[in-house]
Structure 1
């Protein structure tokens, strides 16, 4: 609260993106993996029920223009691929009333037109833009379409990450490396049966809920924070490492500093040096 008051008094804007950076590719957990020098990094718990699918029906000779408009609006993106779609040929029927103004055929006459069922996927934040592009590019006065949510997981959004060390380390060497990277005076770890560490899962902040995901992914170690006493009993087949909440998220400001510096090269971007960790170690 005091920070907000000071910002208002000094005409400073505050932009909070904490939750977004927790789930974004390149966000908090990805930066942890970068600091640890991991390779082959990907999201530990990809978000499901996020991708949407649009199905619309377009006259065959207008399909290309509608498809292009949808792609321009951001539809058709799937992981490392763009302009993805599916087209199925068929026929559509319609009959306009007295108030209609059909682009094809005549009012009060049943028409049958060769059409394509066109399907594309998109992310929720693009829905308004995608629908506008569809309506503006479609030749029909009334555009028929349906939107559904898919069960597919989306790798670019989700909690935590998992990756691999460039070389296998003993548990002792791994803990020493982790302690150095996260600049912490102590690491709380489980009594794991693991002797060597290669595959590592990480999640910034409170990550006890993802222990089962780290285990299922085959990770040898899991770095997170805020583990409770009973959480460590799950750490027999995986080395659980609690580095501290502040310590796990300390590199987040560097993400923002680097991004803003790159995007606004002629603008001064300062990174705060104040330590705000309320936990002290003795």
Structure 2
């Protein structure tokens, strides 16, 4: 298997197209055509991580966080980022990062947090916008079923828990080919009126290339008429954070002890206690202060996240219990999820979970 073949598999659970604009995901170091001897999965790629990959004969590192986040103007080894990249290149080790593409995935970091607390009835906290598109095309009446089924097979027409969704309208299409045309029906230079069906389907943005390829392959016309637009609808199955319910309500102190144990946190910071039972939980791995209002609006009794600043705890305003478990602690489950996915997907090479504790924060 090549690096490209393995990293492309993540499109099934965390398409890179859905990473945040500020992020730097994908293949950061290495040759995409290189044959893979072993994969090391980690939360962060540090110098010790590269050494571990060398020792364990892994030439592909799958990292949650990107080692290269902003531009590198030179490569002299003056920073740990440069030293990691230089060491990886010298030893023919590729580095791939998935970060916020996995944050937005229902199979990603927030799933891991919900699993740790055994939350039920899960929903996306902040559904992602501008990732649902709509295709409109015009098909000869006698071809519509074939074209429709080809589009379904490519992933069009999937909406939440439903698939094979479409809408069609009968009508008449007209066209006239010029001297260079080769029309499937009619003759060049003569206006042709054909019974056609307007076919409409929505689809997830990352599937567009495959869907259009299927359209052109299944459609008989030399020049296929189609339109694509981006919808404002939110994708309820993808986005930042999740909500879920505990198996039964518990008091706040019992909840905080549960969280500390579930996340193996050295310390848990929290806002003022409300003296209310905890039942509905919102989670968001990493820096999640931007989700406080959304968690309150969703009716969550508590929000578990990380990197909350002093004044942000005031935003609880007695409406929610804010819990900061630490950045590493909130995202620690991602490498296990990625490892499990790769082991199930591929069996021809070793997939190894890194032994390195890459948490840069230490406690007394």
Normalised by the length of structure 1, the TM-score is 0.95
Q: Does 1:114 align with 2:205?
A: no
Aligned to 1:210: 291
Q: Which is worse superposed, 237-246 or 193-202?
A: 193-202
Q: Given the alignment, which residue of 200, 218, 240 partners 2:281?
A: 200
Aligned to 1:92: 173
Q: How far does residue 274 in structure 1 lie from its aligned partner after superposition?
A: 1.8
Name the SS of the counterpart of 1:202 in structure 2. Answer: strand
Unpaired runs of at least 5, structure 1: none
Q: How far does residue 211 in structure 1 lie from its aligned partner after superposition?
A: 0.2
Aligned to 2:328: 246
Q: Does 1:274 align with 2:356?
A: yes
Q: Which is worse superposed, 215-224 or 34-43?
A: 34-43
Q: CA RMSD in A?
A: 1.4
Q: Given the alignment, which residue of 148, 153, 158 partners 1:72?
A: 153
Name the SS of the counterpart of 2:94 in structure 1. Answer: coil
Q: Which is worse superposed, 5-14 or 64-73?
A: 5-14
Q: Does 1:189 align with 2:250?
A: no
Deviations 1:153-191 (A, max 9, x none): 112321011000011110010000001011112111111
Q: How far does residue 95 in structure 1 lie from its aligned partner after superposition?
A: 2.2
Q: How far does residue 105 in structure 1 lie from its aligned partner after superposition?
A: 2.0
For 1:128 and 1:247, locate their aligned partners in 2 and report how far apart those are by CA, in whole Å: 37
Q: Given the alignment, which residue of 10, 13, 16 partners 2:97?
A: 16
Count of aligned pairs between the two proteins: 282
Normalised by the length of structure 2, the TM-score is 0.74
Deviations 1:96-129 (A, max 9, x none): 2333322222233222211100011222222222
- Alpha-carbon contact 1:194-1:239 (below 8 Å) kept: no
Q: Which is worse superposed, 70-79 or 260-269?
A: 260-269
For 2:116 and 2:87, locate their aligned partners in 1 and report how far apart those are by CA, in whole Å: 33
Q: Which is worse superposed, 170-179 or 246-255?
A: 246-255
Q: Given the alignment, which residue of 23, 30, 52 partners 2:111?
A: 30
For 2:338 and 2:188, locate their aligned partners in 1 and report how far apart those are by CA, in whole Å: 58
Q: 1:101 to 1:212 in 2, by over 3 A?
A: same
Deviations 1:46-86 (A, max 9, x none): 10111111100111101111112212222112122222111
Q: Does 1:45 align with 2:131?
A: no
